[in-house]
Amino acid sequence: MSEIIENKLPVNILEKSIKSGSEYGWRQNDFLEAVEAARKLQIAIEGGQIQYVFDEGTCELYWLHYYTDEIKKGENWTNYCNRTAKECVEKFKQITANRNIEKEALDNFGLVKEKLADGVVIANHKLFIISFEDKKPNTSANNT
């Protein structure tokens, strides 16, 4: 069984994460810290998307994503990790600055509307999922 990449993150970063199924997400205020921790450990960021997670279900705003470009021919692993962290952060900042995430969730998901009507603070259920990529085992220093 392969090791879970997220377990390589520092304990203080993992403690801030929230599991959504098999994925890990962070609150908006902790997102940048999680990406930077991964970058420092040379864990690449594949990207992710925004979810509202409730006991009754998950509302995935798949169109609000911050996916990164795959490794480029000749790009070494360190540069790839640095680039994907930068791309992810730029897309995250664009979304959080230019989109009304809560309104989009309310417009698209009945569960979010129900929760708000029930007095739930839906902002407390918003997660920013991050998918990580670790350097493949058995790769030599010359291969990526």
Supply the CATH number for residue 99's domain.
3.30.190
Predicted local confidence at residue 115, as pLDDT: 98
pLDDT of residue 96: 97
In a domain, 144, yes or no: no
Q: Is 143 a domain residue?
A: no
Instruction: Determine the pLDDT at residue 3.
Output: 65
Going by C-alpha positions, the residue among 82, 97, 9 that lies closest to residue 45 is 82
Residue 9 lies in a domain: yes
**Distance (Å) of CA 16 to CA 25, 28, 29, 36, 117:** 9, 11, 10, 14, 28
Q: Is residue 142 part of a domain?
A: no
CA 138 → CA 44, 46, 68, 128, 134, distances in Å? 17, 20, 24, 31, 12
Residue 138 inside a domain? The answer is no
Backbone angles phi, psi at 24, to 5 degrees: -115, 135
- Rounded-to-integer distance, Cα 126 and Cα 36, Å: 20
* Domain count of the fold of the chain: 1
Averaged pLDDT, 27-55: 97
The verdict on pTM exceeding 0.75 is yes
Residue 105 and residue 111 in contact, taking contact as beta carbons nearer than 8 Å: no
- What the block records as the tokens of 13 is 């970063």
Does 140 reside within a domain? no
Q: Which domain holds residue 53?
A: 5-133
Q: Does 122 map to a domain? A: yes
